[in-house]
Amino acid sequence: MLRQAILVPRIFSFLERSVLGSGERAGGLLAQETCKATCLLCGPQSSSIKRPLHTTVPRSKAEDRKEMLASMPKKDEGTEGEKTIDVDLLSKRFEDIFPDENTPSRLFDGIPYSQLNICDIKATKNNTIISLNDHKGKALMLRSCGMEGFKNTRQGTNIAAQATGISLAMRAIAKGFKDPVRVRVSGIGPGRMSAIKGLSMGGMNVVSITDSTRVSFAPTARARKQRRL
Amino acid sequence: MRHASFIARTVLVQNGNVEQAVRLINRIMGREGFLEQYRLTRYYEKPFQTRRRINYTKCKAIYNEDMDRKIEFLLRKNRVEPFPGYC
């Protein structure tokens, strides 16, 4: 039988505390004495006990769960550069979120949806370009991260994209394009989320967000070879 | 396949809450596999890499299915609380 002499007094002193109540102070020498008197492993009755006694320090369920969640790998949402939180879809009314056959004629500030200006955001790995266009496709404004003063690597960041969004929104309002705008995002990049955030921060009234990333599940022309770093 | 403009893959902003709409569309696109497919098609994936990836995905799916069945089975119980006061 293994005698864990160091461990046992500490454990049993805790147990003694619960048994003796709040009146008794189980600490230091007192714990050891009471421990030896009642302890099953090192007390007077120890000769009759053959099997080892093991206990664990009691832990709360919350502590365990927090530790388990912290040790789990982070779930990949699919967009690099941005951290997103799950949205509770059960509390939403689906009719208002997704467009239907009446949406093109639905009025936003007196303008039908199909005639609102379009804000195209091209979010690539190294840059983010935002352009404001007519519903017919005529270009009205164009801003990119480079035009904001960021150069080279700094263009491919979410901060630069946010700055570009703010700048475009403020310039558009100054020029007179105050109407609500529908946003069309293309590509996965650091500026995908921040650009839209910047637009709304700059004062633009964003009405809808569309994703027009060019994706094909069918076999396409052979892409370039993988980069070997 | 060209999706209908401003009808497919579109989310309307509710109460001016743009952040929520962005998260929603990102989540839907991610869940449906668009973003994963986009990343796969950036560079050419050689056939041996494709086979490796698909076999790994298949094995993982089989394992996850069986593990989920096991967990669901083990959680079917109706007994007295074994550790009262543990929480």
> Cα separation of A137 and B27, whole Å?
29
Tokens 């949205």, residue located:
A87
What is the ipTM score, two decimals?
0.80
Q: Which residue has the higher pLDDT, A58 or A152?
A: A152
pLDDT tens digits for range A149-165: 999 999 999 999 999 99
Nearest by CB to B11, which of A76, A208, A224? Answer: A208
Q: Concatenated DSSP letters for A181-194?
A: EEEEEES-STHHHH
Would the pLDDT of A110 be above 70?
Answer: yes
What is the DSSP secondary structure assignment for residue A86, as one 8-state letter?
-
pLDDT tens digits for range B22-63: 999 999 999 999 999 999 999 999 999 999 999 999 999 999
Nearest by CB to B36, which of A78, A184, A225? Answer: A78
| Position B1 confidence tier, pLDDT thresholds 50, 70, 90 | low
Would the pLDDT of A4 be above 50?
Answer: no
Would the pLDDT of A47 be above 80?
Answer: no
> Cα separation of A115 and B71, whole Å?
53
Q: Is the CB of A182 less than 8 angstroms away from the CB of B22?
A: no
Helix (H), strand (E) at residue A123: strand A117-123
Across the A:B interface, residue pairs with CB atoms under 8 Å apart total 125
pTM: 0.67
Q: Is the CB of B13 less than 8 angstroms away from the CB of A209?
A: yes
Which residues of chain B have a CB within 8 Å of the CB of A75?
none
Give the residue ranges of DSSP H helices in chain A.
Answer: 7-20, 29-38, 61-71, 94-97, 158-175, 191-202
Q: In a mutagenesis test of the A interface, which of B2, B6, B23, B34 is the best target, namely the one with the most A β-carbons within 10 Å?
A: B6
SS3 B16: coil
Would the pLDDT of A55 be above 90?
Answer: no
Residue of A195, A193, A199 lying closest to A177 (CA atoms) = A199
Sheet of A128-133, strand order: A139-144, A128-133, A117-123, A181-186, A206-211, B10-12
Tokens of A121: 């955001």
SS3 A25: coil
Per CB distance under 8 Å, which residues of B are interface residues toward A?
3, 5-7, 9-14, 16, 18-27, 29-30, 34-39, 41-45, 86-87
Q: What angle do CA A115, B35, B58 make, to 5 degrees?
A: 145
